[in-house]
Amino acid sequence: MKKDDVLKHFGGVMATAKALGISHAAVGKWGKEIPQGRAYQIQVLTKGKLKVTQLDSK
């Protein structure tokens, strides 16, 4: 799952952080790929609109 896709879906860093219940600083520390645990959380929150990729599961 790509960080850019997540930010676009939620509407930016602050909105993403709020949706996930984390700080905007935590979102800012993500690389280009979302950490695996967060990727699964995002998949559930978006009801599958954003999906965990095979790269995420490594």
pTM of the prediction? 0.86
Residue 57 domain flag: no
Residue 32 lies in a domain: yes
> Is residue 55 one of the residues assigned to a domain?
no
Within a domain: 25: yes
Question: Residue 10 is part of a domain; what is its CATH number?
Answer: 1.10.260.40
* Domains of the chain: total: 1
Cα separation of 14 and 29, whole Å?
13
Name the nearest CA neighbour of 20 among 43, 38, 40.
38
List pLDDT tens digits, range 1-56: 999 999 999 999 999 999 999 999 999 999 999 999 999 999 999 999 999 986 54
Q: Which domain holds residue 20?
A: 3-45
